[in-house]
């Protein structure tokens, strides 16, 4: 058992006004996709181990989303957005928040004219609801033809940044993205 100063009883816990620490760790490996990632689950477990064992985060201070866990802990778009809400909700000045994502990233043009691109995190359910023959349809398109009306389920990096922008000024947030940006979402 933990002891307080001089060995007299349990060590005092943090007071009600102590800074809060929270972490969201997301690991997407896409095992049944065209481009599975082999190291992301290990990366996620390593970050989780660092937080829990080295930095002494409690179980309640860390949410871990990864394939192979129960559906409520799968790294789906909805679960990632819920996790971001949990991470940032009720943040107080001085709180320390950490978001880690290991998986595919994607960039899409903001307009058909090219130019700037928007960045996205690719969740495990990115292709949910897409027709199975979407890539064949895209490959058979002739120049000038309209593209199929389908969209991947992505997490816009702008959504993540908006959530972090709502934090109190002295709240510290660390964002670590371990993303492979080499493929478009349709190629994954």
- The CATH number of the domain holding residue 175 is 3.40.50.12660
* pLDDT value at residue 110: 76
Assigned domain for 5 exists? no
State the sign of the Cα–Cα–Cα–Cα dihedral 82, 37, 52, 68: positive
Average pLDDT estimate for 140-147: 44
Measured CA to CA, the distance from residue 188 to residue 121 in angstroms comes to 13
Task: Check: CB of residue 158 under 8 Å from CB of residue 138.
Answer: no
Assigned domain for 143 exists? no
Assigned domain for 30 exists? yes
* Tens-digit pLDDT profile for residues 53-86: 999 999 999 999 999 999 999 999 999 999 999 9
DSSP per position, the chain: ----GGG-SSPPPPPTTSPPEEEEEEE---TTSSS--SSHHHHHHHHHHIIIIIS---GGGEEEEETTS-GGGS--HHHHHHHHHHHHTT--TT-EEEEEEEEEEEEEEEETTEEEEEEEE--TTTTTTS-TTHHHHHHTPPTTPPPPS-----EEHHHHHHHHHTS-TT-EEEEEEEEE-SS-GGG-
Assigned domain for 122 exists? yes
Say if pTM beats, i.e. exceeds, 0.75: yes
* pLDDT value at residue 19: 83
Task: Check: CB of residue 51 under 8 Å from CB of residue 23.
Answer: yes
* pLDDT value at residue 135: 46
Assigned domain for 34 exists? yes
* Tens-digit pLDDT profile for residues 148-183: 445 678 999 999 999 999 999 999 999 999 997 755
- What is the residue range of 88's domain? 19-128+150-180
Measured CA to CA, the distance from residue 142 to residue 132 in angstroms comes to 20
Look at the chain and report how many structural domains it folds into: 1
Assigned domain for 42 exists? yes
Assigned domain for 35 exists? yes
Assigned domain for 166 exists? yes
């Amino acid at each position: 058992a933990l002891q307080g100063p001089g060995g007299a009883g349990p060590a005092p816990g943090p007071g009600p006004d102590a800074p809060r620490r929270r972490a969201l760790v997301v690991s997407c490996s896409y095992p049944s996709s065209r481009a599975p990632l082999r190291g992301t689950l290990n990366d996620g477990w390593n970050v989780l181990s660092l937080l829990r064992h080295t930095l002494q985060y409690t179980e309640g201070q860390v949410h871990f989303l990864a394939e192979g866990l129960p559906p409520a802990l799968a790294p789906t778009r909805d679960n990632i957005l819920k996790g971001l809400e949990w991470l940032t909700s009720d943040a107080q000045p001085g709180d320390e928040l950490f978001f880690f994502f290991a998986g595919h990233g994607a960039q899409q043009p903001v307009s058909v004219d090219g130019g700037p691109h928007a960045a996205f995190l690719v969740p495990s359910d990115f292709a949910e609801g897409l027709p199975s023959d979407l890539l064949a349809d895209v490959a058979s398109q002739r120049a000038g033809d309209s593209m199929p009306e389908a969209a991947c389920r992505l997490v816009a990096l702008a959504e993540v940044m908006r959530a972090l922008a709502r934090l109190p000024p002295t709240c510290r947030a660390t964002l670590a993205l371990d993303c492979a940006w080499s493929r478009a979402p349709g190629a994954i």
